[in-house]
Amino acid sequence: MQTHKPRITLKDIARNVGVHPSTVSRVLNPDTRKMVTKRIADRVIHASEQLGYRPNTFAQSLRTNRSYTVGVMVPDLTNPAFGPIIKGIDNVLEQSGYSVIVTNTDNVLEKEKRSVDKFHERQVDGLIIATARRLDDVVTTCLEEGTPFVLAVRSTIEKGVNSVVSDEIVGGQMIVSHLAQLGHKKIAYVAGPQFLSTGFERYQGYLQGLKNAGLKLDEDLVAIGDAFTEEEGRQAAIMINANQKPFTAIVAANDLMALGCYDELITKGLKCPDDVSVVGYDDMPFTRHFNPPLTTVHTPLLDVGMQAARILLERIWKPEQPARALKLQPHLIVRGSTGIPSSYSETGTKVTN
Amino acid sequence: MQTHKPRITLKDIARNVGVHPSTVSRVLNPDTRKMVTKRIADRVIHASEQLGYRPNTFAQSLRTNRSYTVGVMVPDLTNPAFGPIIKGIDNVLEQSGYSVIVTNTDNVLEKEKRSVDKFHERQVDGLIIATARRLDDVVTTCLEEGTPFVLAVRSTIEKGVNSVVSDEIVGGQMIVSHLAQLGHKKIAYVAGPQFLSTGFERYQGYLQGLKNAGLKLDEDLVAIGDAFTEEEGRQAAIMINANQKPFTAIVAANDLMALGCYDELITKGLKCPDDVSVVGYDDMPFTRHFNPPLTTVHTPLLDVGMQAARILLERIWKPEQPARALKLQPHLIVRGSTGIPSSYSETGTKVTN
DNA sequence: GACAGTTGTGCAAACGTTTGCAGCCCATTC
DNA sequence: GAATGGGCTGCAAACGTTTGCACAACTGTC
């Protein structure tokens, strides 16, 4: 009963209609359909539907060197931030007939290289890279090979690279500004990896924010994590606490790290936001359900994915266009994790309610 | 400067070494390498590395009818439950040289069909389907076409289908048992779509659980949502509340729906777990950070993905093997959203503290 | 009625592999 | 020393498309 139906080819249709395979090819290809008489075209189309023809993409790709396939590299699929991005990418690409090959690199360089190799081997028409470091081998390789690609949610040092990110520096400033307005003066920072643009620029935004608010940087209130994870956030918070300097707020480089801070505050018996305010970054799904609901900067993740895909398509069509670096505007979402500074503040005066 | 390096082919290597292309092919293919003299093989390998040879996968696939590609269909990439699953899949497949094409179907049938068509067109070697309904056209199509496939996290009515799921019925029972032990007698249920195995079986587990605990089903305490979403969970909770029957606990069909219940409780001014206990299902990432931390049934999502991939590989290798329906054991994770029943309970006795 | 121009179709090569078959060479055996 | 056999390698076809080119058939013009 295992009747693997025999594949229908152009030749079959041609024979059926009484015409040459190349004619069938022309009919079935939108770009060349006009070349053949309507009468014949109709018969071909009819026959192809009747027989249930499906083009053999391998043969097509072999001939044309186009795979209608795009590679997507993400660092960690369990991070809920990447779901929306991929969804956005898939949404726009599938409309143009492209398929999306996803790969998870776990933030390990070796895997990234292997992935990009694999992608080249499969001759993807383009790449969307959400794993890029500020200085990234993979990116330079792609530049050399001339593969169209765009960075999502990350940017690199070198110029002339397509990317779509949210404006991290502005985002960082908004956070500090918000806290300053509430009256916070001692604002700690749990930084992300500085070799990632997000980690680096958000920190720059924080610094700029302090300056804007007329506050001075206290290096004892800054700790840098090695990864954008809960655990690294917790470790960083522990380090800051260990410095024994008073502070009334912690800004974390992303939502996951903020959760790590939550944990550390709890173990120290500190309440958020009563004792310490906490801010995250990304507004990943369900942050509003956290305890307390997390004040954070909303990054339009779905949009990032969609725009990245659109730009990639542009580049695939016209490779010689100048690169675009798109910056989406983030916005602050104030929730329950930030409030007016408490007794813990530098003044030593207990603020009652 | 746009020096798209010319692709190196078998022929190039052959010429370089002074040997026939077919010999090169045999050397580079692990299965046939032993056919050729070590001396020549070494020279071929050397040359291929030197020239930077990359096989043309299209030509290979065209010839062999194998794409080393697997399709994965998920209903909603923004649901954090699917990240881990895909990660698991990718982990094991990439080790065997397979690439993963992901597609998001938004739970709409039309898109599912289009996706599976696309997959067939691309001649994926197999499919992992996380979108299946209990009665599913796509699944029957795949059965007919003879495409190897395995369902992840879902199962269907028909027999002889590969699947890996968690034991939903047992999970459902565990929840009720837990609540009954705490002393709950009026336990409401916010059901998921009954056309999905997860929705159906978890509900069956609930019913069985009631029976085990000697409790009677009150249909006014059950509402069925149309989707596994927060919003549908909230709507269902609203409907149950509207029935005006007392209850001390709500069991939701998944974590997202449980969050919807949280919302409804808040708007009604009810506290969880003091007034009403809430239980979810899935243990998706970060449930422990919710307010309150959600008691839920842990589904080993990463494992589901990995096992699904493994079974799929088995089927690709040996298509004639009988189907496997793997059930992973779930376990209950008790957190802060469940407690002893309150004043709201049927007895009318207010439990203090 | 011959010519140029246009339009539509067929021909065949090419894309880069894999693989059954044929044939060569060399070693082994009687 | 001839026959047998086994181990390596080359040959060529095939996978299913796409596409430049040639050619046939028409249209319209002088």
Find the CATH number of the domain harbouring A17: 1.10.260
Do residues A242 and A313 share a domain?
no
Using the 8-state DSSP alphabet, how is residue B32 labeled? T
Domain match, B213 and B269 both: yes
Instruction: Indicate yes or no: strand C within 7 A of the C-beta of A122.
Output: no
Whether A269 and A192 map to the same domain: the answer is yes
- The domain that holds B108 is classified in CATH as 3.40.50.2300
The DSSP bridge partners found for residue A252 are A190
With an 8 Å Cβ cutoff, are A121 and B57 in contact? Answer: yes
How many domains are contained in chain B? 3
Query: Where among B272, B295, B318 does a domain terminate?
Result: B295
Residue B187 lies in a domain: yes
Q: Are residues B110 and B177 in the same domain?
A: no
- Shortest distance, CA A192 to any CA of chain B (angstroms): 19
- Distance of A37 CA from C2 C1′ (whole Å): 28
Q: How far apart are alpha carbons B353 and B348 in whole angstroms?
A: 15
Q: Which residues from B are below 8 Å from A83, CB to CB?
A: 77-80, 82-83
Q: Select the more confidently predicted residue: B345 or A339.
A: A339
* Confidence (pLDDT) at A348: 41
pLDDT band at A6, cuts 50/70/90? Answer: confident
A168-222 pLDDT, tens digit each: 999 999 999 999 999 999 999 999 999 999 999 999 999 999 999 999 999 999 9
Q: Give the pLDDT of residue B159.
A: 86
What residues pair up with B149 in beta bridges, in sequence order? B127
Domain for residue A139, yes or no?
Answer: yes
Q: Within this chain, do residues A149 and A203 fall inside the same structural domain, yes or no? A: no
Both A93 and A161 in a single domain?
yes
Percent of chain A with pLDDT over 90: 86
B290 in the same domain as B178: yes
In a domain, B1, yes or no: no
Q: Is residue A335 part of a domain?
A: no
| pLDDT for res A342 | 75
Token pair recorded at residue B201: 């079986």
What is the residue range of A220's domain?
168-295
Which of A141, A271, A289 has the most B C-beta neighbours within 10 Å, making it the best mutation to test the interface with B? A289
> What's the pLDDT at B310?
97
Q: Which of residues 128-157 of B touch A (CB under 8 A)?
A: 145-146
Nearest CA in chain B to A320: B2
Nearest to B128 by CA among B108, B100, B109, B97: B100
pLDDT tens, N- to C-terminus, chain B (353 residues) = 444 567 899 999 999 999 999 999 999 999 899 899 999 999 999 999 999 999 999 999 999 999 999 999 999 999 889 999 999 999 999 999 999 999 999 989 999 999 999 999 999 999 999 999 999 999 998 998 889 999 999 999 988 899 999 999 999 999 999 999 999 999 999 999 999 999 999 999 999 999 999 999 999 999 999 999 999 999 999 999 999 999 999 999 999 999 999 999 999 999 999 999 999 999 988 899 999 999 999 999 999 999 999 999 999 998 888 999 999 999 999 999 999 997 544 444 444 44
- Tell me which chain A residue has its CA closest to the CA of residue B56: A121
> CB–CB of B56 and A77 under 8 A?
no
- Residues A96, A241, single domain; the answer is no
B50 in any annotated domain: yes
| B290: closest CA of chain A, how far (Å) | 4
Q: Is the CB of A67 under 7 A from strand C?
A: no
Residues of A in contact with B145 (CB under 8 A): 4-5
**Strand B222-224 vs strand B187-191: parallel, antiparallel, or unpaired?**
parallel
| Last residue in a domain, options A276, A295, A314 | A295
Shortest alpha-carbon distance between residue B347 and chain A (Å): 32
| Minimum CA–CA partner of A117 in chain B | B54
Considering the domain architecture, whether residues A32 and A51 belong to the same structural domain is answered as yes
CA distance B293 to B286: 9
Tokens of B122: 């691309």
Q: Is residue A219 part of a domain?
A: yes
Question: Both B314 and B242 in a single domain?
Answer: no
A242-263 burial by CB neighbour count: b if 16+ within 10 A, else e?
eeeeebbbbbbbbbbbbbbbbb
User: What's the pLDDT score for residue A266?
Assistant: 95
> Which member of B87, B146, B289 has the closest CB to residue A290?
B289
Interior angle at CA A25, CA A19 and CA A31, nearest 5: 130
Collect all residues with Cβ–Cβ distance below 8 Å to A18 and sequence separation of at least 6. Answer: none
Predicted local distance difference test score (pLDDT) of residue B13: 94
Quick check: is A91 in a domain?
A: yes
Are A52 and A106 spatial neighbours (Cβ–Cβ below 8 Å)?
A: no
Confidence (pLDDT) at A320: 83
* Averaged confidence pLDDT in chain A: 92
| Same-domain status, B142 and B215 | no
pLDDT score at A343:
55
Average pLDDT value for residue range A253-267: 96
> Which runs of consecutive H residues, i.e. helices, occur in chain A?
10-17, 21-28, 38-51, 57-64, 82-95, 109-121, 137-145, 168-182, 197-212, 230-242, 255-267, 301-317
The answer to whether residue A344 is domain-embedded is no
Q: Give residue B352's pLDDT.
A: 43
Contacts of strand D, CB cut-off 7 Å? A 7, 9-11, 21-22, 25-26, 28-29, 32, 53-56, 59-60, 62-64; B 19-23, 26, 34-37, 39-40, 59, 62-63
Of B280, B295, B310, which closes a domain? B295
* B55 Cβ nearer than 7 Å to chain C strand: yes
B23 in the same domain as B95? no
